[in-house]
Amino acid sequence: MTVATKTISVIIVEDFKLTRVGLRCALNANDDIEVLAECEDAQEGLNLIQKYNPDVVLMDLGLPGMNGIEATIKAKEMNPKVKIIALTSHDREEEVVAALSSGATGYCMKDIDPNKLADVVRDVANGVCWLDPEIAQLALNSFPKPENTRLLANNSNQEGRVPLTEREYEVLKHLVTGKSNTEIAKELIVSVHTAKAHVCSILQKMCVNDRVQAAVKAVKEGLV
């Protein structure tokens, strides 16, 4: 017996109509994704989130009035379970850093391939945190590098935690660039189960809750 796949519900908050139409068409081309509604400003977006309780929200960071970062914070306060993918067309480091702290689960440049965006929506809906490689690099550039790139290992020893292994440092580097467990497994020539186990171990040792927090901490402390 075939088990029906749950449709992922999406709301788009984007002030540029042509971009909204493109996003809607790209996502609705997938049988397992449905765009429920779209709007052009943050307040209406918050109203739609409250009305529809979607699985995923695509949130433009550069909205007029209340920007996407503020809207993301409010949306997470209103509904902590909603998954938000921040969309940006800018390469300003300060915006990226602010977005990384807003509570979004995914971070994408607007020129992302439509098929890749659909995969990101699926991953985020399933609880995976996703960083666009360009955004990860911007975040990396925004923090000064400490001289000791093994700062985490030193801190871990001081606090009684086990430091990362060499393999876990390799996994962390790929995690910071936004790679999924499947992509990490392919890069390191290991099974997806092994890659997932390494990621779980990294999160535990770094005392963080998800991949995005691990990436941000790694960038801040110069671990990659």
Residues of the chain with CATH 1.10.10.10: 151-220
Q: Which residues contact 141 (CB under 8 A, 6 or more apart)?
A: 93
- Per-residue pLDDT at 125: 92
- Per-residue pLDDT at 159: 45
- Per-residue pLDDT at 94: 65
- Per-residue pLDDT at 7: 94
- Per-residue pLDDT at 197: 82
- Per-residue pLDDT at 149: 44
Contact 143, 222 (CB under 8 A): yes
Low-confidence ranges of the chain (pLDDT < 70): 1-5, 90-97, 99-100, 134-162
- CATH number of this structure's domain 8-141: 3.40.50.2300
Number of helices (H), then strands (E), belonging to the chain: the values are 11, 6
Class of CATH domain 151-220? mainly alpha
Question: Distance (Å, rounded) from C-alpha 119 to C-alpha 142?
Answer: 28
- Per-residue pLDDT at 147: 46
Question: Distance (Å, rounded) from C-alpha 134 to C-alpha 137?
Answer: 5
Residues of the chain with CATH 3.40.50.2300: 8-141
- Per-residue pLDDT at 90: 67
E strand or H helix that includes residue 65: none
Evaluate the CA torsion angle 101, 103, 108, 109 in order and state its sign.
negative
- Per-residue pLDDT at 21: 94
Contact 49, 82 (CB under 8 A): yes
Tokens of 132: 């666009």
